[in-house]
Amino acid sequence: MSLLNIAKGTVTKFFTSGQNRSVKLKSQIMYMFILKGLTMALSLVSVPLTLSYLDNTRYGIWVTISSFISWFAFLNIGLDSGLRNKFAECKLNKEDDDAQMYVSSTYAILSVIVLVLYLIFLLSFKFVPWDEVFNSGSQYHSELIWTVFWAFTFFSLNFIFRTVYTIYTADQKPSVDSVTNLASSILYLIFIFVLKYLNNPKLYLLAIAITLPSLLICLVINVWAFKGEYKRYRPRFKFVDVKRSRGLIGLGLRFFIIQIAGLIIFQTDNMVITHILGPAFVTPYYIVYRYFGVVSMLFTMLVNPFWSSFTEAWLKQDFNWISNAIKKLLYVFAGVVLLVIIMVTIGQDVIRLWIGRDIKAEFSLFLFMGLFTIISCWNNIFAMFLNGISKTKMQTITAVIAAIINIPLAIFLVKNMQLGIAGVILSSCASLSIFAIVSVFYTFYIIKKSKQSILTDEVKRSAV
């Protein structure tokens, strides 16, 4: 038997052995690695292309605008996360009518939120001094107005229709989202090549090039899903029932608080840097963030499918599977730590080769960004489990505490301690450390307590 056949047999056995849940999980992870690997490669290519289309200041402004607009994604009040758990539960229990009710109600509530937000935006966006908001200078005022307009318009529509990806993910098919991200990246590269050819560096054109492709693809996926595989669950007005959706809304609100805290920790760094140090300083921060973001993206790609798998395993009381899954993720995490250490060591040389010039990023920025990446990956393991089983109380408490200290600590480290950009990311590390410590003990406490509860019930039944 040739080595090729042996290797083929080993790979086939790996992806086809184990429980049905494990087989599905492994295949989805494989698809996501391939698809997101391609997306990541395109993303790495797009950064120097975009920098060559815009100057440092414009690029820094765009990064800040995109972070600012992404904040509004959290105004879905956690409905996507709530729907993910509720849809998985209903589908597992064959409660199709309830599943359709949850889907329909989610689309309806999000549509109302978007309608209100967009009307407020239309009435006010021309009167907002965007050049002051983004500390960019008056020469960018008119350009900023239309940049924000187009970015927010396409974002608002995407806000509603991205719900379809939650349904696929709840059904343990997260690779569908990866397919659409790859397609969006391809379209963006085509657009940016056209913009470079036209030689007209405008922020609003870049905003359209980035946000329009994902919206178009999202609309196609909605039609595809609800005319095909998920026709039984397609959103219909007569199935909207806000009263019966209280469980979904309540769970969503708890996720919403966690997401808002995450917004403050993960998305305010660019704004803090812009207002204290200036937009030009956002560029080196963002490029180093993207450099380590490769690791975060790969690890998130690995752990994200576990959310819905944990939901199913928990509902079936398969605690051994849950414990083994967490242990395997911790083994992978050990490899992540080693990789990040190497990336910190060679980071400046790699970025110089990648971007083609020195971005003037100090070693301390690489060091703290590496630490931030390690803590984020660690937290992801336990957050996926706790999210999957809808245990959100502890997360909510630690997230609120982290959000409260993050921005004041960042300002203190940048201004008073003179740590510059590195102080901002060090503040995020400190904020995330709270959950990093508490989540481990809480996770294994829950699993142990649940196992003991089942054993107690079995003893009582046998005694009867």
Separation CA 239–CA 98 (nearest Å): 9
What pLDDT is recorded for position 117?
A: 86
> Residue 321 has what pLDDT?
85
Tell which wins on pLDDT, 364 or 361: 364
Q: Residue 462: is its pLDDT beyond 70?
A: no
pTM score, two decimals?
Answer: 0.70
Which position has the higher pLDDT, 462 or 404? 404
Give residue 7's pLDDT: 43
Straight-line distance from the first to the last Cα atom of the chain, in angstroms, rounded to the nearest whole number: 58
CA distance 156 to 235: 18
User: Tens of pLDDT along 165-178?
Assistant: 888 888 878 778 88
**Which tokens hold the place of 330?**
């911790």
Dist CA 236 CA 168 (whole Å): 18
Spatial contact of 21 and 312, defined as CB atoms under 8 Å apart = yes
* Rounded-to-integer distance, Cα 301 and Cα 305, Å: 7
The predicted pLDDT at position 375 comes to 94
Q: Indicate whether 26 pLDDT > 90.
A: no
pLDDT at 76: 66
Question: Quick one: average pLDDT of 48-75?
Answer: 73
pLDDT band at 457 (very low <50, low <70, confident <90, very high): low
Question: Is residue 73 very low, low, confident or very high in pLDDT (cuts 50, 70, 90)?
Answer: low
pLDDT for 382 equals: 93
Whether 418 has a pLDDT exceeding 90, the answer reads no
Q: Is the pLDDT of residue 84 over 60?
A: yes
pLDDT tens figures, 234-286: 888 888 887 777 777 777 778 778 878 877 777 777 778 877 877 777 778 88
pLDDT of the residue at 75: 67
Identify the pLDDT of residue 376: 92
Q: Distance between CA 80 and CA 351 in Å, rounded?
A: 36
Is 379 a residue whose pLDDT tops 90? yes
Residue 276 burial (C-beta neighbours within 10 Å; 0-12, 13-18, 19+): middle
Q: Which residues contact 345 (CB under 8 A, 6 or more apart)?
A: none
C-beta of residue 302 within 8 angstroms of C-beta of residue 174: no
The residue whose two tokens read 């595809």 is: 224
Q: What is the pLDDT at residue 71? A: 65
Q: How many CA atoms lie within 13 A of 30 on its CB side?
A: 11
Q: pLDDT over 90 for what percent of the chain?
A: 11
Domain boundaries, the chain: 18-244, 268-459
CA 137 to CA 140: how far, in whole Å?
Answer: 6
Q: Write phi, then psi, for 34 (nearest 5 degrees).
A: -65, -50
Q: Is the pLDDT of residue 4 over 60?
A: no
- Predicted confidence (pLDDT) at residue 391 exceeds the cutoff of 50: yes
Q: Is the pLDDT of residue 106 over 80?
A: yes
Cα–Cα distance, 267 to 264 (Å, whole number): 6
Q: Are 446 and 391 in contact (CB under 8 A)?
A: yes
**Total residue count of the chain as it appears in this document:** 464
The average pLDDT across 92-103 equals 83
Residue 395: the pLDDT is 86
Cα–Cα distance measured from residue 48 to residue 57, given in angstroms and rounded to the nearest whole number: 14
- Residue 461: band (very low, low, confident or very high) from pLDDT cuts 50, 70, 90: low
Q: Give residue for tokens 């990246």.
A: 185
Q: Please report the pLDDT score of residue 373 as a whole number.
A: 94
Mean pLDDT on 28-56: 78
Give 330 or 457, the one with higher predicted confidence: 330
Mean pLDDT of the chain: 81
- CA–CA distance from 139 to each of 132, 203, 299, 449 (Å)? 11, 13, 41, 62
Out of 255-269, 331-345, 422-436, pick the least confident. Answer: 255-269
Asked if the model's pLDDT at residue 13 lies above 60, the reply is no
| Per-residue 3-state assignment (H helix, E strand, C coil) for the chain | CCHHHHHHHHHHHHHHCCCHHHHHHHHHHHHHHHHHHHHHHHHHHHHHHHHHHCCHHHHHHHHHHHHHHHHHHHHHCCHHHHHHHHHHHHHHCCCHHHHHHHHHHHHHHHHHHHHHHHHHHHHHHHHCCHHHHCCCCHHHHHHHHHHHHHHHHHHHHHHHHCHHHHHHHHCCCCHHHHHHHHHHHHHHHHHHHHHHHHCCCCHHHHHHHHHHHHHHHHHHHHHHHHHCCCHHHCCCHHHCCCCCCHHHHHHHHHHHHHHHHHHHHHHCHHHHHHHHCCHHHHHHHHHHHHHHHHHHHHHHHHHCCHHHHHHHHHHCCCHHHHHHHHHHHHHHHHHHHHHHHHHHHHHHHHHHHHHCCCCCCCHHHHHHHHHHHHHHHHHHHHHHHHHHCCCCHHHHHHHHHHHHHHHHHHHHHHHHCCCCHHHHHHHHHHHHHHHHHHHHHHHHHHHHHHHHHHHHHHHHHHHC
- Distance CA(310)–CA(328), nearest Å, equals 14
